[in-house]
């Protein structure tokens, strides 16, 4: 089997070609051969593992099924969490000895999704999931909002905090999903609140717009300080973190349109809402083979952060327009 390995491997690993150090012990010979096989496996472990694990799932056709009286947006949030922690591996907290630790785009995309869902859960607990500001906060929504704020890169052990085992990120997000599902089940049974007032929707849109504004500021700062670099190992981190946010916001806002259908029809904001969704969808689906951070006015090389920033700001402007219409 060793003799069938490519010649360049034999050239780099002399001990694989059978010309082992002189020894009267066959045991030493097999040790050297075993070490050679381990070295070859180690060289293939990370690239093959990364290729098998990597999955930036930006399927904008993702749909949910709900029972009568349940919220489609809450169901979508729960489904996204389930997909990124159970159907796909959560790789942002993979330790160094797992191939997922060497991935870059997928963990940033996943953390961008969770960040957007945490913002949505906060708005649900503060606004939509209660009758008025003076009413009691829904316990399930409050718990979900807290759990989704948990850092995404915490493994079973976090030695910066303690030597004892701790709750990993994905287990916290699964617990958040259970709380969202519990809330939605109670909502379907008439035991929870989903207050579809226009002012609740307007405030939710304003908060999402503010979050997108924060994302655009990060893009602007990075372009000003780093654009034009031939080699850039951080531009894709920003790109995919924003991509995850935009993707999650697209799906949540698409379902919020159905949850608040009466308000949207009554205020005649269907067309601007659809335009806003189109901008978010365009940004969410863009996935360049390599993220290039060239100068914005470059003739030869693209600036993917500039392109993403354009659609992000366009969606933010449209969000503000819809929010302003809802105020009238």
**Mean pLDDT, consecutive 10-residue segments, the chain of 328 residues?**
44 48 64 77 83 93 95 97 96 90 94 97 91 81 96 82 80 97 96 93 95 94 89 92 97 97 94 96 94 89 94 96 91
CA quadruple 169, 286, 201, 211: dihedral sign:
positive
Specify whether the backbone of 103 is left (phi greater than 0), alpha (psi in -120 to 50) or beta. beta
Give the contacts of 105 (CB within 8 A, at least 6 positions apart): 54, 56, 236, 240
pTM: 0.87
pLDDT at position 281 is: 97
What is the three-class DSSP state of 165? Answer: strand
Using only C-alpha atoms, the chain has a radius of gyration, in whole angstroms, of: 25
**Under a CB-based contact definition with an 8 Å cutoff, are residues 127 and 200 in contact?**
yes
What is the three-class DSSP state of 283? Answer: helix
CB-based burial, 81-117: b 16+ in 10 Å, e otherwise: bbebbeebbbbbbbeeebbbbebbbbbbbbbbbbbbb
- Domain segments of the chain as ranges: 2-41, 63-327
Q: Got the DSSP string for 57-98? A: ---TT------TT--HHHHHHHHHHHIIIIIS---TT--TTS
**Under a CB-based contact definition with an 8 Å cutoff, are residues 242 and 219 in contact?**
yes
**Under a CB-based contact definition with an 8 Å cutoff, are residues 13 and 36 in contact?**
yes
What is the three-class DSSP state of 135? Answer: coil
pLDDT at position 1 is: 43
For residue 167, give both structure tokens: 């709750």
Q: CA 162, 163, 164: angle at the middle one, nearest 5?
A: 90
Distance CA 242, CA 239 (A): 5
pLDDT at position 6 is: 45
**Under a CB-based contact definition with an 8 Å cutoff, are residues 179 and 244 in contact?**
no
pLDDT at position 233 is: 87
pLDDT at position 130 is: 83
Strand pairing partners for 293? 303
**Under a CB-based contact definition with an 8 Å cutoff, are residues 107 and 166 in contact?**
no
Q: Which residue has the tokens 């969202």?
A: 180
């Amino acid at each position: 089997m060793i003799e069938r390995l490519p010649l360049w491997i034999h050239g780099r690993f002399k001990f694989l070609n059978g010309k082992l150090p002189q020894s009267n012990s066959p045991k030493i010979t097999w040790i050297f051969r075993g070490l050679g096989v381990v070295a070859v496996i180690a060289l293939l472990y990370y690239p093959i593992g990364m290729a098998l694990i990597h999955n930036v799932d930006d399927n904008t056709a993702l749909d949910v099924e709900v029972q009568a009286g349940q919220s489609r947006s809450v169901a979508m949030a729960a489904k996204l969490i389930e997909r990124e922690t159970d159907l796909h591996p959560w790789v942002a907290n993979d330790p160094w000895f797992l191939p997922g630790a060497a991935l870059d785009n997928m963990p940033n995309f996943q953390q961008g999704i969770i960040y957007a869902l945490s913002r949505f859960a906060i708005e649900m607990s503060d606004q939509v999931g209660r009758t008025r500001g003076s009413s009691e906060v829904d316990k399930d929504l409050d718990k979900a909002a807290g759990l989704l704020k948990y850092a995404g890169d915490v493994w079973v052990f976090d030695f910066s905090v303690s030597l004892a085992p701790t709750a990993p990120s994905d287990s916290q997000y699964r617990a958040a999903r259970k709380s969202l599902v519990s809330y939605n089940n109670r909502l379907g049974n008439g035991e929870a609140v989903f207050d579809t007032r226009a002012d609740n929707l307007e405030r939710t849109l304003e908060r999402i717009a503010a979050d997108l504004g924060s994302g655009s500021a990060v893009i602007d700062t990075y372009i000003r300080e780093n654009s034009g670099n031939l080699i850039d190992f951080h531009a894709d981190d920003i790109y995919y973190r924003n991509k995850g946010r935009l993707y999650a916001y697209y799906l949540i806002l698409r379902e919020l349109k159905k949850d608040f259908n009466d308000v949207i029809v009554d205020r005649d904001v269907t067309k601007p809402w659809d335009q806003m969704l189109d901008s978010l969808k365009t940004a969410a689906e863009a996935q360049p083979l390599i993220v290039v951070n060239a100068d914005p006015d470059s003739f030869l090389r693209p600036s993917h952060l500039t392109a993403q920033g354009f659609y992000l700001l366009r969606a933010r402007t449209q969000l503000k327009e819809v929010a302003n219409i809802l105020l009238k």
